[in-house]
Chains A and B, each alone.
Chain A
Amino acid sequence: MRVGPVVVERRDAPSWSWTLAISALAVGMALTLAGAIFWSYGVPPLRAYGVIVRGTLFNARAAPEIVRNAIPLLLAGVGLVLAFRALFWNIGAEGQILLGATAATWVALFSPVPDAWKLPAMFAAGFVGGALWGLIPALLKLRFAVNEVISTLMMNYIALYLVSWLVHGPWKGPEMRGFAFTNAFPAAARIPTIADTRVHWPTLMLGLLLAAAVAYLLARTRAGFEIRMQGENPEAARYAGVDPLRTTMLVMVIAGGAAGLAGVGEVGGIHHRLLDPTQISLGFGYAAIIVAWLARGSPLAAIGTAAFLGLIFASGDVMRVALQMPARVTDVFNGLILFCLIGSERALSWRLRWAPGGARQPAAAPPETVASEAPGSDR
C-alpha cells in the first residue's frame, strides 16, 4: 500500500523505534481521550494536564513521588513480564503484594529476629509470602485445570480481606482514630529513604537488580529458554520435554515473590505499619499488567514503563489534591492506556518505508506489495 511517497508493508519483527513510535501514539491517544472525559467532568483538559505537569515533573518536592510509585510497579511488573512470557495469566499481583506486606509485618512486629537482621528477614519473608500466594493458582491450574485468571483474581480478594481482618482483629494496635492499623514498626524495621523523599532506595535497588536478573534468566539460561519455549509454542515445548509444572512454578515463585517484595517496600518504606489493604496497594498489582504489556516482554524495558506508570500514579495524586477529583481517576488513565495499547498492537506488524517514486524501484514493485497484503498472509 502506498501513501504518497511512503510504502506501507508487512514485516515479521518490529524494530525498537517503530514499537516506541506506535506505543507513544497509543499513549497519546489515551491521554487525549482522558482529556475528553475530564472535560465532560467539568475540568478543562489543558488545565488538567497543566496542573499535572507543574505538579509532578516540574516540582522538586513532587518529582520523587514518581519514583516512589514506580518502585512497586517495577517489582510487580518485572514479575508479570516473566509470567506472561510463560503464558501464565497472573492477574494476582495485587494479592501477592498484600501477602508480602503481611509477611514483612509479622517479621517486623512479632518475630524474635535481632534488629540487625530485621530488614533482610522482612524482605525474605515478603518474597516467600508473595511466592506462596502465587504458587497456589499455578498448582490449581496444572493439577485441577482451574483457569488462572479467575483463581489469581479470587486470591486478590482473599488477600484483601485477610489483611483487613488482621488490622481490625488480632494485629490491631492500641492507637485508633477511626482507622484500624497495627502498631508502628520499630526503627530497625524501617527501610531507609533518600533525604526527605519517600523513595526507599534499597527496594528500588532490588527492583533494578531483579529486572537485570530476569533479563539474564530469559536470555542466557536453560530455564529461561524453556520458559520462552513454553510461552511461544506450548505444544513444541511439551514434545521437547519441557515440564509445564516446573516452568510455571519457577515463574510464579519469581513473579509472586517480586510482588511480595513490592509489598515489603510499601509497609517498610512508606507506612511503617500494616493498614487498610487499599492503602498498601493503590492498585499497583493491576497497573503492573500495563507495565508488563507496555514493556513488550522485556524485563529491562519494564524499568522505563514502570517509571511512566509511576508518573500516572503521581498525576492521579496531583489531580486528587489540586482538582478535587476522586482517587479512581488513575483507573481512567490506566484503562484507556491499556485499551489504546492493545488496540494499536497490530500496527506493530507493519512498517513504513520512505520510497519516493518507488514504482520504478524493483524492491517496491506493486504486485509484491499487494501480495504481501493478502489476508491469508496475516500474522
Chain B
Amino acid sequence: MAGEWILNTIVRGIALGTPLLWAALGEVYAERSGVVNLGVEGMMVLGAFAAFALAQASGLPYLGLLLAAGVGALAALLHAFVVITLRANQYVSGLALTMLGLGLSALLGRRWEGLPLLNTLPEISPLTYGGLLLAGMLWLVLYHTRWGIILRSTGESPAAVDTMGLNVFLVRYLAVVFGGALAGVGGGLLSVAYRPSWTEGMTVGLGWIAIAITIFASWDPLRAATGAFLFGALFHLSFRLQTWVAPEPLQMMPFAVTILVLAVVTRRGGAQGVPEALGIPYTRGES
C-alpha cells in the first residue's frame, strides 16, 4: 500500500519533471551564451498550445511536439533579435515574451479549449529518456568539445571570442533559439502527455521554476536533470497530499521551496558558476 503510493509518486514526479527538464536544459544553454531569457513560461505555453492543436488535428502527438519546438524557437528568435541585435534589456524582453505568449495562446487557443485528445503520449514517454540522454549529451558538448568552449567563452568573455574571429552574435542567436525550441517541447509535453488537454495558462508557473532550476544547477545540464526531477516530484506531491491538507498551502510549497533552495545554494557557493557576461548586451569594440 505505502510502497505503491511511493512508487506512484515517483513515477508522476518523473512525468512532471520531464517538461521541466527540457525547458531547463534550453535555459542552461541560452544563459551559458550570456543571454537570460525570462520568457520560458511564455514559450512553454505557446508550445503547449501548438502541440495540442496539431496533435488533435493530425492525431500525431510527435508531430505536435515538433511544431511546439518550432514555435518555441520562433518566439525565442524574437527575444534574440530584441536583446542581441537591438541590445534591449533582457529581463524586460523576457517578461514581454511571457505576457505575449500567455495572451496569444489564450486568444488563438480559445476554440481548442476543452476538446478531447485521442492520440496522447504516455506520461513517461521516450521523451523522458530522450531528455535524460539530451542532458548527458549537452553536458558532454559543453565541457568536452570545441563548441562547448566557444559557448562557455561567449557567456564569460564575449570580447575574447570576438578577438578570436568568432561571431558572438551568431553563437548567442543559436543558443537562444535552441533554448526556445527545448522550452517549446517542454510545454508540448504538458499538453500531449502529462495532462493531455488544452487550458489557457496551463503552465501554471512551471516556466519560472525551470529558470530557478537553471540557477540551482549552476548552469550544468546534469545537475539540471537532478533539479528537474526533484521539483517535478515536489510539484506532484503538492497535488497528492491534498487528501490530508488544504490544496492552496500545498500549491505554495514548490515556490517557497524554490526560494529556500536558491538561498542555500547561492549563499554556500557564492555566485558560483554565473556566466560572467550574463545579461549584458555585447557591443563590438567595447571593453
Contact = CB atoms under 8 A, between A and B. Distances in A.
The secondary structure that dominates the B interface is helix
Nearest to A43: B107
A41 B95 contact: no
Contacts of A165: 246, 248-249, 252
A375 B97 CA distance: 29
Contacts of A147: 215, 262, 266
B259 A379 contact: no
Given A154-B208, A328-B200, A379 B283 contact: yes
Nearest to A287: B99
Given A144-B263, A165-B248, A328-B200, A149 B38 contact: yes
Interface residues of A, number: 49
A328 B103 contact: yes
B87 A346 contact: yes
Given A286-B95, A331-B102, A379-B286, A157 B38 contact: no
B2 interface: no
A376 B96 contact: no
A140 B107 contact: no
Contacts of A346: 86-88
Contact of A342 (B89, B104, B248, B270): B89
A350 interface: no
A346 B215 CA distance: 30
Given A154-B255, A335-B96, A338-B95, A343 B249 contact: no
B286 A376 contact: yes
The secondary structure that dominates the A interface is helix
Interface string B253-285: 001101100110011001100000000000111
B212 interface: yes
Interface string A245-277: 000000000000000000000000000000000
B258 A150 contact: yes
Contacts of A154: 208, 212, 255-256, 258-259
A224 to B, nearest CB: 23
B82 A339 contact: yes
B99 A331 contact: yes
Q: Which of B87, B93, B99 is most buried by chain A, counting CB atoms within 10 A of its CB?
A: B99
A96 interface: no
Nearest to A91: B95
Given A150-B215, A289-B92, A169 B248 contact: yes
Contacts of A153: 208
A158 B283 contact: no
Contact of A328 (B88, B102, B258, B283): B102
A161 interface: yes
A161 B201 CA distance: 16
Contacts of B104: 37, 332, 335
A326 B108 CA distance: 9
A154 B97 CA distance: 18
A140 B38 contact: no
B282 to A, nearest CB: 11
Interface in A140-173: 140, 144-147, 149-151, 153-155, 157-158, 161-162, 164-165, 168-169
A223 interface: no
A106 B174 CA distance: 51
A293 B211 CA distance: 23
B106 interface: yes
A145 B87 contact: no
A23 interface: no
B96 A342 contact: yes
B260 to A, nearest CB: 9
Contact of A345 (B88, B97, B98, B263): B88
Q: Which of B91, B93, B262 is most buried by chain A, counting CB atoms within 10 A of its CB?
A: B262
B205 interface: yes
B78 interface: yes
A149 B38 CA distance: 9
A185 interface: no
Nearest to A332: B103
Contacts of B74: none
Contacts of A332: 99-100, 103-104, 107
B252 A41 contact: no
Q: Which of A334, A343, A375 is most buried by chain B, counting CB atoms within 10 A of its CB?
A: A343
A182 interface: no
Contacts of A286: 95, 99
Nearest to A342: B88
Given A144-B263, A157-B255, A338 B96 contact: yes
A37 to B, nearest CB: 7
B248 A144 contact: no
A339 B103 contact: no
Interface in B48-100: 78, 82, 86-89, 91-93, 95-100
Nearest to A144: B263
A145 B103 contact: no
B262 A151 contact: yes
Given A157-B252, A162-B252, A331-B106, A289 B95 contact: yes
A146 B259 contact: yes
A155 to B, nearest CB: 8
A12 interface: no
Interface string B153-167: 000000000000000
A336 interface: yes
Contacts of A327: 106
10 contacts: A41-B108, A154-B259, A161-B248, A161-B251, A331-B102, A334-B96, A335-B99, A335-B100, A346-B86, A378-B283
Interface of B: 38, 42, 78, 82, 86-89, 91-93, 95-104, 106-108, 110, 200-201, 205, 208, 211-212, 215, 246, 248-249, 251-252, 255-256, 258-259, 262-263, 266-267, 270-271, 283-286
Given A165-B248, A338-B92, 9 more contacts: A37-B107, A89-B91, A161-B252, A330-B103, A336-B96, A338-B96, A342-B82, A342-B88, A378-B285
